[in-house]
Amino acid sequence: MTTIIDGKQLAKKTNEQTKMEVQHLKEMGITPGLAVVIVGNDEASQRYVRNKNKTAQRLGINSKVIELADTITETELIDIVQQLNDDDAINGILVQDPLPTHIDERKITRKIKPEKDVDGFHPYNVGKLFLDDTTNYPVACTPKGIMTMLKEYNIDLLGKKAVVIGRSAIVGKPMAALLLNAGASITVLHRYTTDILEYTKTADVIVAATGTLHLLQAKSIKQGAVIIDVGQNIDETGHLVGDVDYDDVFDRAGYITPVPGGVGPMTIATLMQQTVELTKWGLNSGK
């Protein structure tokens, strides 16, 4: 019998825990602060930022949204990031992608203080992740949220074969690192992989994050596999779907995330959770 991994319900549970943490901090006279910088008028990005802002406010987090024209220079954007670095009321900084082509996204990421890098993209934090460092550091929110989902459903990763499809810095690479750190054996597939079925048909866990409609079908997986779908696609009927052919795969999977209602809600919930964690870690470090 297939188990649906309910991201909406788990996000609600996570947000409730975060709200309690925020209330506890406020009783100490501390309000966690999150700053989101968005450049340009990308509709999907603006919708995502609105959802982040709304969730933060609902949980009691001080949410600051900085909207900038796509004509801003790289130097001007760096100056704004530096101001947020120096603002003691801000514990987490996120610069929403995509950025205009005249701005080097990696350069902007490197300008964010590692201890305020709520997205977990700074090379310093990525290095800690791949080293499986035992100190506190932020991790990319989507992969971290997926690990929360796997833990919630008591999915054991030790010694399991895990396949990550996609090698982006946002999902694929940090996801592979987290799974490896959890004791799984990892294979990362990408656009140059000649035959993905060679790897997916024997995998215990598959994380699909490519933005390719119907990438995985029932013939692509083994019976009882855990299927985590990070894809965001619009199908021929205009509906939001993932990388996985959900209806075809459903009866063959052991666990599966739906789209929508799976990974997506946990990404935002994890962002809020990590904002609070950054706040607490800052206190513990004496800052």
* Residue of 59, 2, 7 lying closest to 246 (CA atoms): 2
In angstroms, the CA 141 to CA 129 distance is 13
Per the DSSP assignment, residues forming a β-bridge with 94 are 36
- Please state which of the ranges 18-32, 39-53, 58-72, 144-158 shows the lowest mean pLDDT: 39-53
What pLDDT sits at residue 287?
Answer: 45
pLDDT surpassing 80 at residue 133: yes
What pLDDT sits at residue 285?
Answer: 72
Of the residues 96, 204, 273, 274, only one is catalytic, namely 96
What would the two tokens of residue 20 be? 């309690």
What is the pLDDT averaged over residues 3-31? 98
In angstroms, the CA 130 to CA 183 distance is 13
The tens digit of pLDDT for each residue in 250-279 reads 999 999 999 999 999 999 999 999 999 999
The tens digit of pLDDT for each residue in 201-223 reads 999 999 999 999 999 999 999 99
What is the pLDDT averaged over residues 92-99? 96
Using alpha carbons only, give the angle 181, 186, 192 rounded to the nearest 5 degrees. 135
From the number of C-beta atoms within 10 Å of its C-beta (0-12, 13-18, 19+), residue 161 rates as: middle
The tens digit of pLDDT for each residue in 144-183 reads 999 999 999 999 999 999 999 999 999 999 999 999 999 9
- Whether residue 119 lies in the annotated active site: yes
Of the residues 6, 52, 111, 245, only one is catalytic, namely 52
What pLDDT sits at residue 173?
Answer: 98
Residue 208: phi and psi, rounded to 5, are: -105, 120
pLDDT surpassing 80 at residue 286: no
Of the residues 6, 117, 119, 204, only one is catalytic, namely 119
Domains delineated in the chain: 28-117 (3.40.50.10860), 141-263 (3.40.50.720)
In which band, very low, low, confident or very high, does the pLDDT at 106 lie, cut at 50, 70 and 90? very high
- Whether residue 96 lies in the annotated active site: yes
What are the counts of helices (DSSP H) followed by strands (DSSP E) for the chain?
Answer: 10, 11
